[in-house]
Amino acid sequence: MEPKENLKEKAYAIIKNKNICCEYRPGQFLNEQELRESVGASRTPIREALNKLVQEGLLEILPKRGVLVRDITLQEVNAIFEIRCMIEPYVLETYGHLLALSDIQDMYRKIRASGCETNNLYEYDLDHNLHEMLVRACDNPYILELMAKVFVQNHRLRILSGQNLEYRLRETAMEHEQILYWLDQRQPHKAAEAMRVHLRHAKEAAINMMTNSKGWKQII
């Protein structure tokens, strides 16, 4: 029999991944029995995993109703991009020169080779990996911890925007190339400005997607 701790971590990883990748959609109720069957774990590890995801802001437990995948509101979108616009350009300006040219060029090649397909999760993972790589140029553990939490929520938003606004994937790839170009040229201030443009467009796309998609909570 698999140890309880391993089952809890397994359940946590599986449910979190399906949440972040929007296999479990915002606003969807999860069936605990189905979760137990899909993970292959008993009630206790599933409950512990769900409680951990509640603490991370991905799920919500509603008495007598069940486990709800938390929606993404306009208020949260504004909060996510407020933090991103403060932190990501700052990191590029301050620490961008520390990024290895080989890492910058490798990421550039991957983005150039990507197909920008809405049904390809690799595209969204590549987007996530790029921003994570750039932020990790900073060695401030408090910034890294904050951005890790922001990126979890932002990944759901990224997938939903890409699925609803196909044009945004192509624009995003070009904006990423511009950021990486200036980093490769060792001009972090221009890379930071390109990042500000990218984040502004990403926020506009997210709000456009939410305000034109039925079923989204619009709490400002």
| Average of per-residue pLDDT across 85-105 | 97
Tokens of 13: 């990883």
Per-residue pLDDT of 115-152, as tens digits, reads 665 556 677 889 999 999 999 999 999 999 999 989 98
pTM of the model: 0.80
Smallest CA-to-CA distance from 13 within 61, 48, 65 is with 48
Which tokens hold the place of 126? 């590549």
Amino acid (one-letter) located at 216: W
* Element containing residue 70 per DSSP (H, E): none
pLDDT of residue 216 exceeding 70, the answer is: no
Work out the angle at residue 202's Cα, subtended by the Cα atoms of residues 201 and 205, and round it to the nearest 5 degrees: 85
Is the model's pLDDT at 214 over the cut of 80? no
Residue range 18-28: mean pLDDT, rounded? 85
Q: Evaluate whether 30 touches 69 at the Cβ level (below 8 Å).
A: yes
Find the helix or strand (DSSP H, E) in which 99 lies: none
The runs of H, that is alpha helices, within the chain are: 4-20, 32-39, 43-55, 74-95, 101-113, 121-135, 141-164, 166-184, 188-211
Q: Do strands 66-69 and 29-30 pair parallel, antiparallel, or not at all (unpaired)?
A: antiparallel
Distance, in Å, from the CA atom of 121 to the CA atom of 124, rounded to the nearest integer, reads: 5
